Amino acid sequence: MELIFSYLHPFTLAFALLIAMGGLADCYDPLDPYGNITVTFDIHQWTNDGYVARVTIQNYHQYRHVDQPGWKIGWTWADNEIILSMSGAFATEQGNCSDFKFQSPHSCEKDPVIVDLGPDASPQNMTDACCRGGLLSSYTINPANSFSFFEVTVGNLGMNASGHAPRNLTLWAPGPGYTCGLLEDVDPTVSLEIGGRRQVQVFRTWKSTCTYSTFLANKTPVCCVSLSTFYNPKVTPCPVCSCGCRDADKSTALCISDHMCPVRVHWHVQNNYVGHWRVKVTVSNYNYKRNYSNWNVVVQHPGFSQKATAYSFNSSVLPSAGFSEKVALFWGISYNNEELLQAGENQVGSVTTQILLEKDSESFTLSNGWALPRRVYFNGENCEMPLPDTFPMLPNAASSSLKPVNNCFFILQILFFLTFTSQLINLLGFDKQLNKFCLSLQPHFLIHNPLSF
């Protein structure tokens, strides 16, 4: 028996290590290695039996935002604390406050759950940077709307007025998926006053970092990717049942499709020029009853190491860890296409853009699916990609025929021909009307050259 366990021990240890590594990898996003939501309690005032704290929820994710119905946060009090009052947010339950006959606390729950107020909150209940209905933008797209504040007055601490940090911090943003560390004592927060000439420090600061895990969120995919190119008539659709197989009609709020995903991202390699190449990206919404506000798409592709111009989307190249391919973030333009509309009776809602990318002569190729994306995210969720053996490939006999034409050489040839013809007509003595007609051909050829841009 001891011999058997001696053989099993190293395998058991290795198996446990693999499980641990898998869990860590699930919480670590190499496309956003430092992404998290940080919760901070800043005690800026002591009271007779408690304190007043400002709570900050800061989203440091580069592309993952907090969508409707917004964030919720909860914790467990370390002692017998109660919430006497709040502004900028509210506790969902007051609980049993029968022990407090001469006051009406906001919440006496041991495990309070806090929710953000909406924009229509009364002014006396509002604080700075509050009341967005729990919505938080990603830090890269809109830093000014990536955080939220609320103030809480805590009482019933008796002689232990300094208090202890709350325990079991829990964040829903908006659903499960986040794991929060302990609220720990850190250096007190310092803010600036009088135009930055005076520093003001709070009495005490507790801070916790919350990281996201798709495994804990237990989400089925919400998007898929389809592919096409100008050099192959084949269109690679989203994999069948990418987002799970189920019946779909208007009662389920989802258009009928083979992939059964609420959102599809289509990548089309459109043109190949001498020094550039062009891609068209279309994001389609298959939901009958949901618009996507402040949507974003992340694409991993080595081509983004060169200059890229998106004509109808905002864009930014993101830092990444462990990947040679660059990662680009795209999102809508305000008052134009920042909202991905729901599907209609006869068509899906969509937003689209063309992207012009400069070529790297050492790496660019149309062979082996190089021009197709490596990974695509929609609103922070990984989209299901087709299998590589289904990608639209370059035809074997097309390598020479698809080489881009040199624009300058082509135009110079036409100009030389037109100039020579004009001189010949003058020497032969044709009338001036024919000369004007021949000269008029020059702009015609320039306008209709498909490779000029």
pLDDT of residue 182: 97
pLDDT of residue 1: 44
Q: What is the pLDDT of residues 287-326, one digit of tens each?
A: 888 899 999 999 999 999 999 999 999 999 998 776 778 9
pLDDT of residue 231: 94
pLDDT above 90 coverage of the chain, percent:
61
- Confidence label for 433 from pLDDT (cuts 50, 70 and 90): low
Q: At what angle do helices 407-428 and 432-447 cross, to 10 degrees?
A: 170
Mean of per-residue pLDDT scores for the chain? 83
Does the pLDDT of residue 442 top 70, yes or no?
A: no
Does the pLDDT of residue 452 top 50, yes or no?
A: no
Does the pLDDT of residue 123 top 70, yes or no?
A: yes
Degrees, nearest 5: CA angle 106-111-112: 35
pLDDT of residue 247: 62
Does the pLDDT of residue 178 top 80, yes or no?
A: yes
pLDDT of residue 128: 84
Looking up tokens 């068509």, which residue turns up? 347
Residue 193 pairs in a beta bridge with: 198
Does the pLDDT of residue 50 top 60, yes or no?
A: yes
CA separation for the pair 178, 39 (Å, rounded):
12
- Comparing 22 with 213, the larger pLDDT belongs to 213
Is 265 within 8 Å of 225 (Cβ atoms)? Answer: yes
Q: What is the pLDDT of residues 339-376, one digit of tens each?
A: 999 888 778 899 999 999 999 988 999 999 999 999 99
CA separation for the pair 247, 256 (Å, rounded):
8
Q: What is the pLDDT of residues 131-157, one digit of tens each?
A: 999 999 999 999 999 999 999 999 999
CA separation for the pair 77, 188 (Å, rounded):
21
Determine phi and psi for 441, rounding to 5 degrees: -70, -25
Does the pLDDT of residue 399 top 60, yes or no?
A: no
- Confidence label for 56 from pLDDT (cuts 50, 70 and 90): very high
pLDDT of residue 401: 46
- Comparing 14 with 165, the larger pLDDT belongs to 165
pLDDT of residue 214: 81
pLDDT of residue 343: 86
Does the pLDDT of residue 233 top 80, yes or no?
A: yes
Looking up tokens 């001036």, which residue turns up? 432
pLDDT above 70 coverage of the chain, percent:
78
For 282-303, give the DSSP string: EEEE-BSS--EET-EEEEEEGG
The pTM of the whole model exceeds 0.85? no
Calculate mean pLDDT across residues 248-266. Answer: 75
Structure tokens of 166?
């709350």
Type of residue at 345: E
pLDDT of residue 419: 56
